Amino acid sequence: MTNKSVKQPNGVLIVDKPKGVTSHDVINSLRRLYQFKKIGHTGTLDPNASGVMLVCFGPATKFIQYFTDTDKTYQAEVIFGLETDTYDATGKVLRVCTPDFSIAALHHALQQFKGDLMQKPPIYSALKKDGKKYYDYARAGRMVEMPERAIRIYQIEIRKIDALPQRCEFLVHCSSGTYIRSLCHDLGTVMNTCACMGDLRRTAVGRWRIENAHTLSNLEKMSMAERFERLQSAERFLDQYDSVQSNAWGDRFIGNGAELYAWNSMTGFEKLEADQLLRIYDSQGRFKGIGQFRLNGKVQPTEPCVRPLKMMNSE
């Protein structure tokens, strides 16, 4: 029989992942700290990388898919003169060369990566082909083609150049799905040399910055109540989506997971676009979940309401 006094977390925690552990290791640590199993994260960081991870607890895990398509900001180190199979310094060395370029040439090369472009992710990645991860193909020695995909670089600029031409540090603000390892590799090609990624730190996911993140070591020192206080409502992480609000009649519909129409909504649908994702609120302004606008003039709920953030009794 389930213990009714057991408290369950519900919300999102901003974590500062340490270098040298996997994202899954972080989740396991949080499961131990919160004594709770239903935890998921919104984007993997390589073991050699550190920085911001958004971690969801309990009912908030239903919204993970809506957090993932979020821009990211990184501080990255590129190592010139070294090419590896993983595109970072932890991989097998494939080629060593002598970099020879000016700072002006580096500035010019970086500008070529701004805006919309196509990028080929590294073969050692968790992306999948036919249900199997690409790094499994690579480890088995199988040659498979990695397709390019569209990304966007909003900002890229040099931050530290005192170790040039061997290495430098730069800041990059990019779309979700961008591989910084590939960016470093491709930068080497543009510079007529070879390159791979060194250290990497994710400093922001959307508007959620490293300054707001909690380290595992600090969470270790907190009481359970203090850890719960660090959780934030999932609703706060969905403000990139427009919203609709039901009227009193619509409250009954969305309360049962049914569609919202113009007649049972306080919000006009005239400016909505097909398949647009929307936050749904009831007539009292309470967050009820995420929905999608359909061409037949209705908002179809896709995920139910996350309950108000609090320490809840288990079912």
Question: Residues with catalytic annotation?
Answer: 46
* C-alpha separations of 214 from 26, 96, 280 in Å: 12, 39, 30
- 3-class SS string, the chain: CCCCCCEECCEEEEEEECCCCCHHHHHHHHHHHHCCCCEEECCCCCCCEEEEEEEEEHHHHHHHHHHCCCCEEEEEEEEECEEECCCECCCCEEEECCCCCCHHHHHHHHHCCCEEEEECCCCCCCCEECCEEHHHHHHCCCCCCCCCEEEEEEEEEEEECCCCCCEEEEEEEECCCCCHHHHHHHHHHHCCCCEEEEEEEEEEECCEEHHHCEEHHHHHHCCHHHHHHCCECHHHHHCCCEEEEECHHHHHHHHCCCCEEHHHECCCCCCCCCCCEEEEECCCCCEEEEEEEECCCEEEEEECCCCCCCCEECC
* Alpha carbon 158 to chain centroid, angstroms: 23
